[in-house]
Structure 1
Amino acid sequence: MEEFVNLPKTKRGQKTLDNIVRSAEELFFEKGYHATSIIDITNEANIALGTFYIYFKDKYSLYKYLLLSYSHSIRKAIALDIKPGHTRFEAEKIGLKAFLQYIRDNKHVYNIIWESLYIDKTLFVEYYEDFAQRYTHGLVTAQEKGEVVDVDPVILSYLLMGVSNFIGLKYVMFDEENDDDFEEVVDKVMDILKSGMFLSKK
């Protein structure tokens, strides 16, 4: 992450960096990446233009910093309540609910992450490939413990990521008035994952 940002060494500097990031998030969410200029960001943050360049060399670096920050914060939110003693089934359930809550609290994240596909496809690919790689590692460990069926772990990681992403779209982004605690929808998702969706013909 340090390659995209000049991290501050003081609390005052960190406050300024946080202000720049917050302003960029708001503008990227409202106007989109391409319609937002560095001057827009500095005006929103109420700082001098030169201050921006103390931390970032350009808008693209700031955007990459945001993507990496989101990847880190989402993984942290998902893992927060997962304990070493939890089975993979329990971990998936806890993680899905945590992901949905994170998205509800940070709706702008969906827009900013998915816009990367139109800013630089490489960024979009790298974001999800990195996420999948980490996910796959956990699934392989669960397979070795006999907790997960012996299927291609990469395909499984993308399948589970797809479930989380689109359940999030439906129950957070599309149903914006939804204020439940996600318990019911998470239980239903886990029931489907546990039992499968196809019935065998006898």
Structure 2
Amino acid sequence: MTAEPRTKRGELTKAKLLEAAERVFAEQGYQAASISRITERANVAQGTFYLYFASKLDLFEQLVEDLNRRVRAAMSDGAARGGNRAEAEREGFRSFFAFTAEHPALYRVVREAEYVAPGAMRRHYERIVEGYIEGLTRAKASGEIGDVDPEVAAWALMGVGEMIGMRYVLWPTGEQGAYGSGATPVPEPVFDEMVAFVQRALGVAPPSASATTEEES
């Protein structure tokens, strides 16, 4: 049985192992990846591995949780920059795509989790949706969005972000390649079109339309 690190050095060692696992699982997949390859990549003794993780599966599940925590933090920080729900959606998506470009392993790890650790995969998506539901519920109550079901909208929005990220961040040429090869930012015209689509779906007028209405009045 493993325990959480009690020292700063222990925290750094565990973080190195998680970072190495992120890269190795992305490159080789769960089945082909080995503990020895991960510890070698982390420059950590193989025996040290078992101070932090009970097995390769335990490491994989903790990696899913770690990626989830970090991507949610990035999205939350982005959304917080918005002055209203429309801006929060834009900045939240922008932060999600930036995280995906920097950590393309998120896609492969979560997809493999469907077969390797289905509970971890489900928790990953449910935790993201929970935050979405809270924000959309508040926005609906304040009249910032239309009469939509926050839970349904949250799952739909997550799907939009995931598919756009896969197409334009992971597959910039339109061809499926290795995870992490050639990851790029979402092109601005694509990003603007996606945000406009999301705003229409939520019953939010695009900023330009709002500005025009104010000028006319």
Q: TM-score, normalised by structure 1?
A: 0.85
Q: CA RMSD in A?
A: 2.2
* Residues 60/156 of structure 1: CA separation in 2 closer, same or farther (3 Å cut): same
Instruction: Please tell me whether the aligned partners of residues 132 and 157 of structure 1 are also in contact (alpha carbons under 8 angstroms).
Output: yes
Query: Which runs of structure 1 show a deviation greater than 4 angstroms over 4 or more consecutive aligned residues?
Result: 176-181
Structure 2 equivalent of residue 188 of structure 1: 193
2-structure distance, mates of 1:70, 1:180: 19
Which ranges of structure 2 fall in alignment gaps of 5 or more residues?
174-181, 202-217
**Counterpart in 2 of 1:87?**
84
Listed as ranges, the matches of 1:45-84 within 5 Å are 45-83=42-80
- C-alpha contact (below 8 Å) 2:78/2:94 kept by paired residues: no
1:153 aligns with 2:150: yes
Q: Which amino acid aligns with 2:56?
A: K
Cα pair 2:132 2:154 within 8 Å, conserved: yes
Report if the CA contact (8 A) 1:78-1:98 is conserved. yes
C-alpha separation between the residues in 1 aligned to 2:186 and 2:155?
A: 25
Aligned residues: 193
Q: Matched residue of 1:175: which SS?
A: coil
2:136 equivalent in structure 1 = 139
Per the normalisation by structure 2, the TM-score is 0.80
Post-superposition shift, 1:81? Answer: 3.6
Identity %, equivalent residues: 33
**Aligned mates of 1:45, 1:92 — CA distance in 2:** 36
Offset of 1:144 from its aligned partner? 0.7
Instruction: Provide Cα deviations, 1:135-188, integer angstroms capped at 9, x if missing partner.
Output: 111111111111122222111001100110011011101116575664322211
Once the two structures are TM-superposed, the CA of residue 106 in structure 1 deviates from its matched residue by: 1.1
Distance 1:27 1:139, change over 3 A: same
Counterpart-to-counterpart distance in 2, 1:141 and 1:59: 41
Gaps of 5+ in 1: 197-202
Quote the residue 1:106 is aligned against: 103
